[in-house]
Every structure is written in C-alpha cells, then in structure tokens.
Amino acid sequence: MRYLVTGDAGFIGFHVARRLLGEGHEVLGLDGLTDYYDVDLKQRRLSLLGEEKSFRHRTIMLEDNAALIAEFGAFRPDFVIHLAAQAGVRYSIENPRAYIDANIIGTFNILEACRAYPVRHLLLASTSSAYGANSKYPFEETDPAIHPITLYAATKASTELMAHCYAHLFGTPTTAFRFFTVYGPWGRPDMAYFLFTRKILGGQPIEIFNHGESWRDFTFIDDLVTSILKLGEAPPPRADARAGLASIPGDTLSPVAPYRLVNIGAGQPAKLTTLVEELEKALGIEAVKILKPLPAGDVVKTFANADLLEAVTGQKPTTPLSIGIPAFVRWYRAHYN
C-alpha cells in the first residue's frame, strides 16, 4: 500500500514511517523541518528512513497548498496519516500564529487534498489537551471538549470538527485519535522526560511543576504506533452501510459520516514524581529537584479511557514506565554518546 505520512521527520511520524517500511509498504513523507526544536535530530531520523528504497521524503510546509496538491497527485496515496503539527502547550502562548498556520491551515489543505485525490482512510492526530478543563476522569471520547485552555488544544479540537465536516460532505473515511503524553527513543527534546534526562546527566537541577502533584497517562511510542496502524485497518463505515453491523458500546461513530474519534492511551496515569524515579533508576543518578507551581496552560491530570480503542483494535498500550524509560535512556546515551 501507499502511505503518505505528514511529519515524517518528527518523533511520532518517524516511528510510524519506520514501522510501515518494515512491513513492506511504500511511504511518502512530508515535513517542513521547522526549527521549533533541533533540526539535526530531525535530519538524523530522515537519514535512517532514507535507507529504505520504498521511502521518499519531500520538505514542504503544509500551508503551501500548491506543493501539497502536487505531491498528492503524483503519489496517489491509499492512506494518509496526518501527524504534522505545531506541538507544545507552552509555546502556543509565546507564538500562537504558528498554531493557526500549521494546525488549522495545514490540516485544511490536507482535507482538500484528500477531497481531490480520495483515499481509503485518513488518520488524523489530535491530543488529550482537547479535553481542556474537563475534570471528569477518565477522559472519554464522548465527554464535551468545549473548554480548551490553550490555543494548541483549540486548534487540534478544531481540526477534529473540520475533518468530520469533510467526512460528511465528501465521504472521506476518517479516524481522529487523541494522544496521551507519548514518550520513547528519538523523542522530542522539549518533552519533560527528555529535558530531565539531559539536566540530570549534566548535573543540573530539574523543575517539577505543580509541586510533583501532576499526573500523566504516559504512552510508549511502540504502543502508539501499533494503535495507529491497527486503527488504520478499521476505517469507519459510511452511515448508510452499517446495517447488520454490531454496535460497540461507547462508540463515537458519527450518525452522518464515516468518522470516528478514539483515545490512544494506556488508561494508567502515573505521577510526575514516578517518572522522575524511573529516570533516576535508569540513569543511576539522583536528581536535584526544584518544585514549582503549575504553569499556565498545563492541566493537573490526563487519564484516558481506552475501552473504545481496545474494542476497535483488540489492543491498547501496555508498556509501563519501568520498561519504556530505560529504553529511552539507552537510546539517549547511544545517540548523544
């Protein structure tokens, strides 16, 4: 099959493309290689992907609609996995326009490209941040997501709504999925576990927000990739083609479109201090800790209900921090010598 993966130089896109190539698929990756974080790390990811003959990469910004349409027309993908985005909760306070450009305009252009060149399934990345000020746990896909507390969350929730419109109007089978704190080898340097590792090894203190009382539903990257690809095998059926199909309790299938929204998380939130303890064990160094208040835009807790994911795919993330963090530390030590 032909897969178009946006954000292939990014953390998640790299791992998704690598798995697809390992399974024998043809992959076209699109990425703008922005300098939000270390471009050299992105280039190293691409160099590994480039070792596969069935991989091609194009450096374009998704805001460039003409270039995007040209790539779609030349490649004619069967599946699109749209992972490219301007990420980061706190950065959205500093540079909000980057989120409008990348997340809103970029996703609109992807939807238009799928309209011009229909695909079997569009998979669209969203975020647990969409739940915003929701304080009901665990987060269920049917919970209202109408109180975002950062522009990042607002843009990602908006892309879900945009994708539903296109699924309804033009029949594009679409699955949107919400990530929950993804971590692992080749990760993003702005993420807490990455920052903590660098500072602990450098003998610097680490800042622990909310005085260590924050909780996150950590998802190991290998589990996430498995979930994405298994969701890809289960495109939502059209509303007029569901007769005789068994219903799934709590399903988010749209009543008017081939569209579904799914959490991808383990449903096992861990305290931030637990993350630090696992890093200390894997590194063999005790961290110097500075406790700080919760910053603007952060939530106290994320907690995924993974029942729908398990019902649709037959699995859910299971890798604990005690396995995932040592795997990251081994990669970090090797990569940064």
Tens of each residue's pLDDT in the chain, 337 residues: 999 999 999 999 999 999 999 999 999 999 999 999 999 999 999 999 999 999 999 999 999 999 999 999 999 999 999 999 998 877 888 899 999 999 999 999 999 999 999 999 999 999 999 999 888 999 999 999 889 999 999 999 999 999 999 999 999 999 999 999 999 999 999 999 999 999 999 999 999 999 989 999 999 999 999 999 999 999 999 988 888 888 898 999 999 999 999 999 999 999 999 999 999 999 999 999 999 998 887 889 999 999 999 999 999 999 999 999 999 999 999 999 8
Q: CA 170 to CA 112: how far, in whole Å?
A: 10
Domain count, the chain: 1
pLDDT value of residue 92: 85
Q: CA 273 to CA 280: how far, in whole Å?
A: 10
Q: Which residues are catalytic?
A: 152
With tokens 């690598």, the residue in question is 18
Per residue, the 3-state secondary structure of the chain, as one string, reads CEEEEECCCCHHHHHHHHHHHHCCCEEEEEECCCCCCCHHHHHHHHHHHCCCCCEEEEECCCCCHHHHHHHHHHHCCCEEEECCCCCCCCHHHHCHHHHHHHHHHHHHHHHHHHHHCCCCEEEEEEEHHHHCCCCCCCECCCCCCCCCCCHHHHHHHHHHHHHHHHHHHHCCCEEEEEECCEECCCCCCCCHHHHHHHHHHCCCCEEEEHHHCCEECCEEHHHHHHHHHHHHCCCCCCHHHCCCCCCCCCCCCCCCCCEEEEEECCCCCEEHHHHHHHHHHHHCCCCCEEEECCCCCCCCECCECCHHHHHHHCCCCCCCHHHHHHHHHHHHHHHCC
Q: Are 324 and 220 in contact (CB under 8 A)?
A: yes
Pick from 196, 181, 123, 208: which is nearest to 302 by CA? 181
Q: Give a yes or no: residue 312 inside a domain.
A: yes
CA angle 186, 192, 196 (to 5 degrees): 90
Q: 128-160 pLDDT, tens per residue?
A: 999 998 889 999 999 998 899 999 999 999 999
pLDDT value of residue 88: 82
Q: Give a yes or no: residue 30 inside a domain.
A: yes
Q: Are 205 and 33 in contact (CB under 8 A)?
A: no
Q: What is the maximum span of the chain, computed from C-alpha positions, in angstroms?
A: 62
Neighbours of 134 (CB within 10 A): 18
Amino acid at 272: L
Read off the pTM.
Answer: 0.96
Q: CA 33 to CA 42: how far, in whole Å?
A: 7
Amino acid at 220: F
List b or e across 191-203, with b for residues whose CB sees 16 or more CB atoms inside 10 angstroms: bbbbebbeebeee
Pick from 74, 53, 142, 60: which is nearest to 109 by CA? 60
Q: Give a yes or no: residue 296 inside a domain.
A: no
Cα 145 to the center of its chain, rounded Å? 18
Q: Give a yes or no: residue 196 inside a domain.
A: no
Sign of the CA dihedral 289, 295, 301, 302?
negative
Domain span at residue 14?
A: 2-187+219-267+302-318
pLDDT value of residue 90: 79
Pick from 130, 123, 156: which is nearest to 144 by CA? 130
Which residues, listed in sequence order, are joined to residue 220 by a DSSP beta bridge? 183
Q: Give a yes or no: residue 325 inside a domain.
A: no
Give the dihedral of Cα atoms 69, 74, 80, 83; nearest 10 deg: -60
Q: Give a yes or no: residue 90 inside a domain.
A: yes
Q: Residue 251 maps to which CATH number?
A: 3.40.50.720
Q: Give a yes or no: residue 202 inside a domain.
A: no
Q: Give a yes or no: residue 171 inside a domain.
A: yes
